[in-house]
Structure 1
Amino acid sequence: MAERIFIAVNRWVLVLLLAAMCCIVFANVVLRYLTNDSIVWAEEVARYLMIWMTFLSAGLALRAGMLVSVSQVHGRLPAAPRRIARLLILAVLLVFFGWMVFAGWEYLSRMGRQLTPATRIPFSYIYYAMPVGFGLLLIHTLLLARRFLAEGHFDHATEADVAAVKG
């Protein structure tokens, strides 16, 4: 139940970010067309929203099996080595995601005091996307770890997920 709520909240945040980005870009295009003037901060904010969407959606993409993977070697191994390979893959993913949370936090700490050009907000608000996104990846991976070790895959993409990606 908690996992479903976690996934739903993750998805709704992405929906809201995408809606905000679309509204800002649409308003900017309409304003530019009608008045020959544009919203000064629209491009910048849309770019930062896209950065946040990229990091926040990575865990859902991992969960749905939509990230690039090399499965040829893994698929050709006998059962016991395949399980060891899955354990090694899982360990590498968890260590990498954990390290990226730390690296993102370090980068945020060093560079976050600068201000964005148009909106004059601290870059830290944008740089938070990296540790938060990799933290979500870490949580999604931990939630799927047992299934991955047993079955050798994360969740399969549902028809709705595939249709959403294809547009």
Structure 2
Amino acid sequence: MTFIIRSTDMLNTVLGWIAGTFMGIATLAVLAQVFIRFVLPLMGMAISAPWTEELARYLMIWVVFLGVAVLSRSFRLIAVEMIVVALPERAGIGMRMLSVVICVCFFVVVATVGFGWTAMSSIETSPVLRLPMTWVYMAMPVGAVITIFNLLVFAAEILTGRRRNVEQAEIMD
């Protein structure tokens, strides 16, 4: 179990760095677009850079799905903890496990839809960058599958007593 937890945490560290890098590149692309669209015309240069918008959009899609996967590892997604904390420990664990089951079911649906969209997009390319749209749509099932895996590892930690509550999860991360 320790090997799986450490491997999962290393994977999520790498994914966090990838998501951060994608976010940085998307930010630079948007800044370039703002500069090209608003600053250069003031200097008498009218050029177009449609690739910046497309690149930023596709990178942000990956950031969202990788970010959800990384945050699900420590159960740091949006949640109302007031009820879980107010319950006795066993009931709180049961409530947390119920929410994990609901999240896993949701992400199974997301992965299924994502794989379908990825398969349908195999002949498409993006309008400006001419990227295969499979790479863009693949963010959805990849992120969902990693999220499911992270949620299952988190649930295993709760059930084995490695994590008693979400506050401990934040301390351990």
One-letter identity of the residue aligned with 1:20: I
Of 72, 95, 118, which residue of structure 2 is paired with 1:85? 95
Which sections of structure 1, spanning at least 5 residues, go unmatched?
A: 162-167
Q: Is contact 1:112-1:127 (8 Å) kept?
A: no
Of 49, 66, 81, which residue of structure 2 is paired with 1:56? 66
Q: Aligned in 2, Cα 1:87/1:4: closer, same or farther, shift over 3 Å?
A: closer
The aligned counterpart of 1:23 is 28
* Number of residue-to-residue matches in the alignment: 159
Deviation of 1:20 after TM superposition, in Å, equals: 1.7
CA–CA separation in structure 1 for the residues paired with 2:26 and 2:7: 29
SS in 2 for 1:156: helix
1:148 aligns with 2:158: yes
CA–CA separation in structure 2 for the residues paired with 1:4 and 1:110: 33
One-letter identity of the residue aligned with 1:15: G
CA–CA separation in structure 1 for the residues paired with 2:155 and 2:75: 13
Q: Is contact 2:74-2:166 (8 Å) kept?
A: no
Of 121, 127, 130, which residue of structure 1 is paired with 2:140? 130
Query: For 1:85-135, what per-residue CA distance to the aligned partner results, in whole angstroms no more than 9, with x for missing partners?
Result: 333222222232223212210122224433322223332221111001111
Which sections of structure 2, spanning at least 5 residues, go unmatched?
A: 1-5
Deviation of 1:37 after TM superposition, in Å, equals: 1.3
Q: Is contact 1:74-1:82 (8 Å) kept?
A: yes
Q: Is contact 1:29-1:38 (8 Å) kept?
A: no
Superposed structure 1 runs of 4+ greater than 6 Å apart: none
Query: For 1:31-63, what per-residue CA distance to the aligned partner results, in whole angstroms no more than 9, with x for missing partners?
Result: 342332121211111111111111111122233
TM-score (norm 1): 0.78
Of 59, 78, 86, which residue of structure 2 is paired with 1:76? 86
Q: Aligned in 2, Cα 1:64/1:157: closer, same or farther, shift over 3 Å?
A: farther
Of 100, 115, 131, which residue of structure 2 is paired with 1:121? 131
SS in 2 for 1:70: coil
Q: Aligned in 2, Cα 1:41/1:75: closer, same or farther, shift over 3 Å?
A: same
Q: Is contact 1:112-1:123 (8 Å) kept?
A: yes
Deviation of 1:64 after TM superposition, in Å, equals: 4.7
SS in 2 for 1:41: helix
1:2 aligns with 2:12: no
The aligned counterpart of 2:3 is none
**Percent identity of the aligned residues?**
27
Deviates more, 1:130-139 or 1:109-118: 109-118
Deviation of 1:30 after TM superposition, in Å, equals: 3.1
